[in-house]
Chains A and B, each alone.
Chain A
């Protein structure tokens, strides 16, 4: 692996769910890269395929779903070529994941120290229990949990929601992974706690050089946190680029719609823009562009598969009618 190899390079990933009602193409050709120390925001509505993308990368897609094609290159190596044990060794060690609901992700009948120590010893049996506990204690301190010794001996239900999520983050950091995938980790928390956790997550990544994929439906969250943003719709990435570029000058009609619907002080007093219609069912995606039914600029050309184009340097989109005029108002 050279200095230029990105930590993660996803190429044309496709994950489909084979249900009795048909094939749901949850992820249908997703490509993006995550560099060392970079935070990538993966943004989309429910049903856009963003969580499934995260699970596909870490290899935890539940049946009836499976990855059907594509590559997931982690530090140059294609994860999809690995066998079950090879993937297991990477999980929790080099690639870690944080889930959405901390109440259910921590096992309610096991103590926090048990759940932390097992993560360390699953990857390095030579670590003694005492050393593992010490590392766990440090990790809790790192995420800002006071009185870590007591907390280690506690059970998950004795923590508040925000604290539990910090514990989950601490567990993710235990083995100093190269990549953390965070699947909507603050959605279930209060706004104030959300802010704190975002701040701390960003600080940690800067300090440790860990790459992160932050999956969310909330644009406001990624605005302050991410370096790069990938907007997903209907199982595909419809726009990606540097965060400031995309937010200031969105090119894809969907991105523009999303931004237009976010309240801000320059929209005060005006009607918020709403994207008409509803997200399509992944079982029944339309031919061609998934967004055409709701797009104000759609026409017959959109029935063909939109390929990835790079209209502006550093910006990839899938669209036949991108907003390239920089002065167009959002929501028009």
Chain B
């Protein structure tokens, strides 16, 4: 098991390094670093000073090392607009984005798995076909438009839920979370559901395919032959088998949820990393953009690593196979 983890760790480090190189190249070679890193409103003397400070007059490989050194120390530049460390600004907003993405993930599982299992158990029933048709609709719908319609219906027309923003927060272990307050939940519900919609279709399809396959397996018949209640057969025997592919895919999709939160956060004015990125793209606040890219790559790599570990925990066959190598 540890061989497996070490190998994956090394791979992850390589990917992060490569991405940092790509971002560096993107900023310093494709784009004009003077534009990218220096506040365009600074005067000539200021620009010259910053160029010296940032080492932009040095050869490229020295600049790269400089960049990496700073990055490892947590310095990814200062925001033009806010004047503070770009990294700090982004990190402050990570809890909001993660809260949104995690809630969306949980919703996708709790809505998608039961629907998918039901559709898998009775593939020819009308309700199953309706569920499958709904899932095609689910991944065709453009997320941002659905978000708008949700606001329209639930906030403007019906007035049940607030239209934008994050609700009241409380501090838990130094992190601000909003799902522990009623007001927070009211604000969290729609954006999380909106974000979850994409993945619900995927989960339904996975759960349905997995269930259909599992129902024909001998171990289901054997479980019934042992006299187990149908509930137990489904909830323990079938579910554990289908959760493996569901969890793996979802784990990988969590990264995409974080990326897509950019859209949901913009629609619902949710104060997370994504909204900050979009605002920065409009304001040309480049240090934030650079910092965001680095952080998101790191998040991705960590998520992929965690999913691999989780997969090996859930599927005992993977563990044993690896130990035998």
Contacts and interface: CB of A to CB of B under 8 A. Distances in A.
Interface stretch (B16-24, B48-56, B91-99, B225-233): B225-233
A171 B315 CA distance: 23
Contacts of B222: 97, 99, 105-106, 168
A92 B221 contact: no
Q: By CB atoms of chain A within 10 A, which of B218, B314, B315, B320 has the most?
A: B218
Given A107-B241, A109-B241, A92 B218 contact: no
Interface string B209-228: 00000000111011111111
Contact of A92 (B219, B226, B244, B314): B226
B317 interface: yes
Contacts of B229: 88, 122
B316 interface: yes
B58 interface: no
A104 interface: yes
Given A92-B226, A122-B229, A110 B236 contact: yes
Contacts of A122: 226-229, 232
Nearest to A107: B219
A157 B317 contact: yes
Determine the interface band of chain A, counting residues with CB < 8 A from chain B. 20 to 34
A120 B227 CA distance: 10
B237 interface: yes
B240 interface: yes
Interface in B162-185: none
Contacts of A134: none
B244 to A, nearest CB: 7
A252 B181 CA distance: 81
Contacts of B228: 88, 92, 118-119, 122
A109 B315 contact: yes
Nearest to B225: A97
A193 interface: no
Given A90-B227, A107-B223, 9 more contacts: A88-B228, A89-B227, A99-B222, A99-B225, A118-B232, A118-B236, A155-B316, A157-B320, A158-B320
Contacts of A168: 222
B315 A91 contact: no
Interface in B291-325: 314-317, 320
B236 A93 contact: no
Top 8 A-B pairs, shortest CB-CB distance:
A92-B227, A92-B226, A104-B218, A91-B227, A105-B222, A107-B219, A97-B225, A119-B226
A27 interface: no
A173 to B, nearest CB: 12
Q: By CB atoms of chain B within 10 A, which of A89, A97, A109, A158 has the most?
A: A109
A135 to B, nearest CB: 14
12 contacts: A92-B226, A92-B227, A96-B226, A99-B218, A99-B222, A105-B218, A106-B222, A109-B240, A118-B236, A119-B226, A122-B229, A171-B226
A104 B220 CA distance: 9
B227 A104 contact: no
Interface in A95-118: 96-97, 99, 101, 104-110, 118
> At the interface, is chain B mostly helix, strand, loop or mixed?
helix
A104 B225 contact: no
Given A107-B241, A110-B237, A158-B320, A91 B219 contact: no
Interface string B235-249: 011001100100000
A118 B226 CA distance: 9
Interface string B177-201: 0000000000000000000000000
A109 B316 contact: yes
A106 B218 CA distance: 8
Contacts of A88: 224, 227-229
Contacts of B244: 109
A58 B224 CA distance: 10
A208 B236 CA distance: 32
A60 B225 contact: yes
Q: By CB atoms of chain B within 10 A, which of A58, A60, A108 has the most?
A: A108
A315 interface: no
A248 to B, nearest CB: 35
Contact of A99 (B221, B236, B241): B221
A249 interface: no
B310 to A, nearest CB: 14
A119 B227 contact: yes
A251 B220 CA distance: 41
A104 B226 contact: no
Nearest to B217: A104
Contacts of A58: 225
A108 B317 contact: yes
Nearest to B240: A109
Nearest to B216: A62
Nearest to A104: B218
A323 interface: no
A123 interface: yes
Contacts of B317: 108, 155, 157
A233 to B, nearest CB: 25
A141 B223 CA distance: 22
Nearest to A171: B226
B226 A101 contact: no
A298 B222 CA distance: 41
Nearest to A174: B226
Nearest to A101: B218
Q: By CB atoms of chain B within 10 A, which of A90, A92, A168 has the most?
A: A92
Contacts of A99: 218, 221-222, 225
A62 B221 CA distance: 9
Contacts of A157: 316-317, 320
A289 B241 CA distance: 46
Q: By CB atoms of chain A within 10 A, which of B218, B226, B241, B315 has the most?
A: B226
